[in-house]
Amino acid sequence: MVKVAQRYALLIVDMQNDFVMPGSPMRVVGAKSTIPVISKVLKTFRDLKMPIFHCIREYRPDGSDIEITRLANFIEHTKGLVPGTRGCEIVEELKPRPGEYKIIKNRFSAFMNTELDFMLRRLDVNHVIICGTQYPSCIRSTAFDAICYGYYASVLTDATSAKNQDIADSNIRDMTDVGIVCTESSEVLKKIKP
Q: Rounded to the nearest whole angstrom, what is the least distance from the CB of residue 71 to a second copy in the complex?
A: 7
Closest-CA residue to 87 (of 22, 158, 182): 22
Q: Rounded to the nearest whole angstrom, what is the least distance from the CB of residue 166 to a second copy in the complex?
A: 7
- Regarding 69 and contact with a second copy (CB under 8 A), the answer is yes
Q: Rounded to the nearest whole angstrom, what is the least distance from the CB of residue 66 to a second copy in the complex?
A: 10
Report the helix count and the strand count for the chain, using DSSP H and E.
7, 6
Query: How many residues bind a second copy, per CB under 8 A?
Result: 32
Q: Which is nearer to a second copy, 48 or 72 (CB)?
A: 72
- Regarding 64 and contact with a second copy (CB under 8 A), the answer is no
Q: Are strands 152-161 and 8-13 parallel, antiparallel or unpaired?
A: unpaired
**Residue of 148, 184, 186, 191 that binds a second copy (CB under 8 A):** 148
Task: Kindly report the number of other CB atoms within 10 A of residue 114's CB atom.
Answer: 17
Give the side-chain half-sphere CA count within 13 A for 11. Answer: 35
- Regarding 67 and contact with a second copy (CB under 8 A), the answer is yes
| Helix, strand, coil content of the chain in percent (nearest 5) | 40, 20, 40
**Residue of 7, 40, 46, 70 that binds a second copy (CB under 8 A):** 70
Q: Is the peptide bond before 16 cis (omega within 30 degrees of 0)?
A: no
Identify residue 121 by its one-letter amino acid code.
Answer: R
Question: What whole-number distance in Å separates Cα of residue 131 and Cα of residue 60?
Answer: 25
Q: Which is nearer to a second copy, 131 or 181 (CB)?
A: 181
Helices (DSSP H) in the chain: which residue ranges?
A: 17-20, 35-47, 71-73, 116-122, 140-148, 165-177, 185-192
Tell me, residue by residue from 159 to 188, as one string, x for binding to a second copy by CB under 8 A and - for no binding: -------xx--xx-xx--xxxx--------
Question: What whole-number distance in Å separates Cα of residue 16 and Cα of residue 14?
Answer: 5
Which range of residues in 18-26, 38-46, 78-86, 136-144 is near a second copy by CB under 8 A? 136-144
Tell me, residue by residue from 77 to 116, as one string, x for binding to a second copy by CB under 8 A and - for no binding: ------------------------------xxx--x----
Give the interface with a second copy as residue ranges (CB under 8 A): 1-2, 67-72, 107-109, 112, 136-137, 141, 144-145, 147-148, 150-152, 166-167, 170-171, 173-174, 177-180
